Structure 1
Amino acid sequence: MKHILFSLLMVTSGAFAQSLPKTEAGVVATVKKQMPETEAFLEKVVNINSGSLNKEGVRTVGKLMSDELGKLGFKTEWITLPDSLNRAGHLVATRQGKKGKKLFLIGHLDTVFEKSLPMEPFTRVNDSTASGQGVNDIKGGDVLVIAALKALNDQKLLDDASITVYFTGDEESGGGAASRIDFVERAKKCDIALAFETAQGLHSVTTGRRGSSSWTLNVKARTGHSSRIFSDLGYGAIYEAVRILNEFRRTLGQEQYLTFNPGLIVGGSEVHYDDKTAKAETIGKTNIVAGTALVKGDLRFLTEAQKESARTHMREIVDKSLPLTKATISFSDGIPGMEPSAANDDLRKQLDKLSRDMGIGPVQAGDPGSRGAGDVSFVAQYMPCLDGLGASGKGAHSIEETMNTKEYPLLIQRTALFIYRLTR
């Protein structure tokens, strides 16, 4: 019974390839034939914990991916990172050809599920759903890339293609800008970037997605007996922190694509925060005016202009201190935004035509506000990009993460043909 689902799909999806040229129909048939081994490989990698901080697990998944890509004629490399970043590194696989566009295919080896969390193995929930840690974000997408390339290689359609596959090891918990130096340099040598984060069904693709950064608010105030608050001791650090956060919400909270989440807030007589563990400790009493407060949050945006405008407004709000309080705010860059562009939409139109040719139907641009930050944004300023090409599913980053197994073969087929058309 193990592969009944995929066998049925091989029959029911046969009509999709009827209008395709013979070569492309052959690719579709090969993807269908290979689905049992594709599923088995997906199950194998899902059952290996590869949380961003589990360096051994990330490397193990990377080795499995590297072995598969090596069989397809790719030259594989492991990019090590400085010890100070505490990350496993990245897998790069390349083939150099003489035809078509040079493609940069993006995935990541890590998941949000660290080794300390309960393991959720690959499980068939029903005839259309599989669950497991990282099954859609992003191991389903990584395996999709390999399955598509395997089908093309079987049909001898990779021989003249120029493709770089770059699977990072720390997308879910980034090691900082230093971790993406090689990533960006390799991408600059290519013409088009395709990223395989979770798909939002068969009919949507990502032409723009928001970036992310972080901010830290520190508040200081006079401290003393609580009976003197609002008078000679002023308002205290906690009231000032609350004023600032409420003004952020009131003045900026309705701007499209802009969000800012205060993920941690502590206040009292003393506050201590450990960046390595993201743990805070505070000391305070009800009859003492709080002398310090700390807030840490993120800021998400679609464009660099939107990010800078928001930061300017936030600084202005911070500067309007309540009496006898003083606040400062600092910002740290994370992942840039992937701005929607005409070039990205032209690429979407090519995918839309292919999808219609296959009988799957149209492909529209998804809402940029519905996506978090992703690796593709690091290279979006240099070339046309699409994201959301991976496995479809729900519940990413939760114990309820699932993958749509009915759509999965069709997404592999479409990716294989998209790569073929772009590199022919």
Structure 2
Amino acid sequence: MRLTALLFCAALLAGPALAQTPALAPAEQTMARTVVAEHDRHIALLERLVNQNSGTLNLPGVRAVADMLRPEFEALGFDVRWIDMAETGRAGHLVATHAGPGRNVLLIGHLDTVFEADSPFQTFVRDGDTAVGPGVGDDKGGVVVILSALRAMQAAGTLRDASVTVFLTGDEERTGAPLSVSRKDLIDAGKAADFALEFEGLAIENGRDFGTVARRSSTNWTLRTTGRTGHSSGVFNDALGYGAIYELARILDAFRRELPEPNLTYNVGVLAGGTPATLDADGFRVAASGKTNIVAETAVARGDLRALTPEQEARARDRMQTIVAEHLPRTGAELVFGDTGYPPMAPTEGNRDLLNRLNAVNRDLGLPEMAEFDPARRGAADSGFVAADVPTLGGLGMAGSGAHAEGESVDLNSLVRQAQRAAVLISRLSLQP
């Protein structure tokens, strides 16, 4: 935690020094004190959550984390329901609602992690102010920030009239299909909300916290090419043409040369070509065989496309299809985009207004203001499914490093400032006229 935040927390606990932060209302001072006082409680909760494996495909594990969280929300007066997602091959979503008269604030997080039950990385380990564990930051730390903030609001009396919906998906790391089912309830919650706050990890660089007003989309694509096979002595002639591999190479190189623009990326993750070349049902593994003197009959490549706005993604898709259609002689190609992608969270004025409001909270808490984080350096998230309908701010979870890899860690002190920020911001948003 930064020195300013540490001094502020100490002042809150000391009592008389509260006069040094006159911008905080009395209830907000109570919230800040409560977060500090309950810090150890929330670290203990984080440990319990992390030690329960909830890899996306571990459906009982995801449900077990939801069952651990249900009483935590019910104790705060929330109505809690489970939305089963067996239809999509996933566990489901946990939704907790507090129906006060205030403006509705949607809080978004997720129950699942990338670490499945067979991963060797399974245990929460604390070393001073750092904790390491599967999903400790992405996103169990974010879920704990939500609970810490809501408990602080309850202690201060601001939760009583607040309207809050907590939506914790069970398949954020690997969405179920079709999206029309797996994200329908989240999209509906976004349409019903006045504001949305997403609790993925805090963006931090050189010790400075940043706000997330934009995230790029994430969509998978599959490219298949075909060619006439035969003896390699005839390659490039009118009878055989160029073969499937040259057609694949032409297309991918044209993507590299013709698509570049700011905030747009289009990675190729796996490819194969030969006679034949195949892609498995999951889309992760390829196989191919062939000989140097045979013109390749088939080729396949898979990758992703990331864009900052729907317009940019549509423009890139159209250009990619145009490139694919310009076949080399005697070849064919087909480009198919997946149906389980994440839409972008575009940098709207509504999102920036939310960051301005958060920076007002920062000033009142004695914390530095937060600039916008570069969206090209953040992954996609569930906030993209609601951002088209409601002002959205992301990155309100804990600060950490190494997400999606063994050794994922968080700074436990960041829980304090993030929960303080969230408690004050949620209260102000919901209870404003």
- Report the TM-score, using the length of structure 1 for normalisation: 0.94
Q: Which residue of 1 aligns with 2:199?
A: 196
Conserved? CA contact 2:362–2:421, under 8 Å = yes
Q: Which residue of 1 aligns with 2:43?
A: 39
Q: Which residue of 2 aligns with 1:295?
A: 301
Q: Which residue of 2 aligns with 1:13?
A: 9
Amino acid corresponding to residue 428 of structure 2 in structure 1 = R
**Alignment partners' CA distance in 2, 1:398 and 1:15:** 38
Task: Please show how residues 16-415 of structure 1 align to structure 2 within 5 Å.
Answer: 18-19=20-21, 20-83=24-87, 85-99=88-102, 101-125=103-127, 127-176=128-177, 177=179, 178-201=181-204, 203-231=209-237, 232-252=239-259, 254-276=260-282, 278-333=284-339, 334-415=341-422
| Displacement of 1:276 | 3.1
Q: Partner of 2:272: helix, strand, or coil?
A: strand
Q: Partner of 2:347: helix, strand, or coil?
A: coil
Q: Partner of 2:192: helix, strand, or coil?
A: coil
Conserved? CA contact 2:226–2:297, under 8 Å = yes
Deviations 1:273-314 (A, max 9, x none): 222363322222222111000111111101111111111111
**Alignment partners' CA distance in 2, 1:359 and 1:169:** 36
Conserved? CA contact 2:8–2:366, under 8 Å = no
| Displacement of 1:10 | 6.9
| Displacement of 1:405 | 1.9
**Alignment partners' CA distance in 2, 1:241 and 1:273:** 15
**Alignment partners' CA distance in 1, 2:428 and 2:352:** 17
**Alignment partners' CA distance in 2, 1:356 and 1:15:** 16
| Displacement of 1:124 | 2.0
Amino acid corresponding to residue 62 of structure 1 in structure 2 = A
Which segment is superposed worse, 280-289 or 139-148? 280-289
| Displacement of 1:185 | 1.3
Amino acid corresponding to residue 396 of structure 2 in structure 1 = L
| Displacement of 1:120 | 3.7
Conserved? CA contact 1:10–1:32, under 8 Å = no
**Alignment partners' CA distance in 2, 1:212 and 1:26:** 41
**Alignment partners' CA distance in 2, 1:329 and 1:184:** 28
**Alignment partners' CA distance in 2, 1:12 and 1:335:** 39
**Alignment partners' CA distance in 1, 2:231 and 2:376:** 46
Deviations 1:215-270 (A, max 9, x none): 11110101111222223422211111111111101111x31111111111011101
**Alignment partners' CA distance in 1, 2:242 and 2:192:** 56
Consecutive unaligned residues of structure 2, counting only runs of 5 or more, are 13-17
| Displacement of 1:12 | 6.7
Give the % identical residues: 44
**Alignment partners' CA distance in 2, 1:102 and 1:280:** 47
Conserved? CA contact 1:107–1:196, under 8 Å = yes
Aligned CA distance change for structure 1 residues 307 and 11 (closer, same or farther; 3 Å): closer
**Alignment partners' CA distance in 1, 2:282 and 2:251:** 26
Q: Partner of 1:203: helix, strand, or coil?
A: strand
Conserved? CA contact 1:268–1:290, under 8 Å = yes
Conserved? CA contact 1:51–1:112, under 8 Å = yes
Amino acid corresponding to residue 240 of structure 2 in structure 1 = L
Deviations 1:189-229 (A, max 9, x none): 21000000110136311111101112111101011112222
Aligned CA distance change for structure 1 residues 340 and 12 (closer, same or farther; 3 Å): closer
Q: Partner of 1:13: helix, strand, or coil?
A: helix
Deviations 1:370-419 (A, max 9, x none): 11111111111111110001111111111131111222211111111111
**Alignment partners' CA distance in 2, 1:156 and 1:10:** 25
- Report the TM-score, using the length of structure 2 for normalisation: 0.92
Aligned CA distance change for structure 1 residues 310 and 277 (closer, same or farther; 3 Å): closer
Consecutive unaligned residues of structure 1, counting only runs of 5 or more, are none
| Displacement of 1:272 | 2.5
Which segment is superposed worse, 179-188 or 159-168? 179-188
Amino acid corresponding to residue 152 of structure 1 in structure 2 = M
**Alignment partners' CA distance in 1, 2:253 and 2:287:** 24
Q: Which residue of 2 aligns with 1:417?
A: 424
**Alignment partners' CA distance in 2, 1:380 and 1:275:** 32
Aligned CA-pair RMSD: 1.7
Conserved? CA contact 1:80–1:88, under 8 Å = yes
**Alignment partners' CA distance in 2, 1:266 and 1:299:** 19
**Alignment partners' CA distance in 1, 2:250 and 2:284:** 24
Q: Partner of 1:263: helix, strand, or coil?
A: strand
Conserved? CA contact 2:167–2:186, under 8 Å = yes
Which segment is superposed worse, 391-400 or 127-136? 127-136
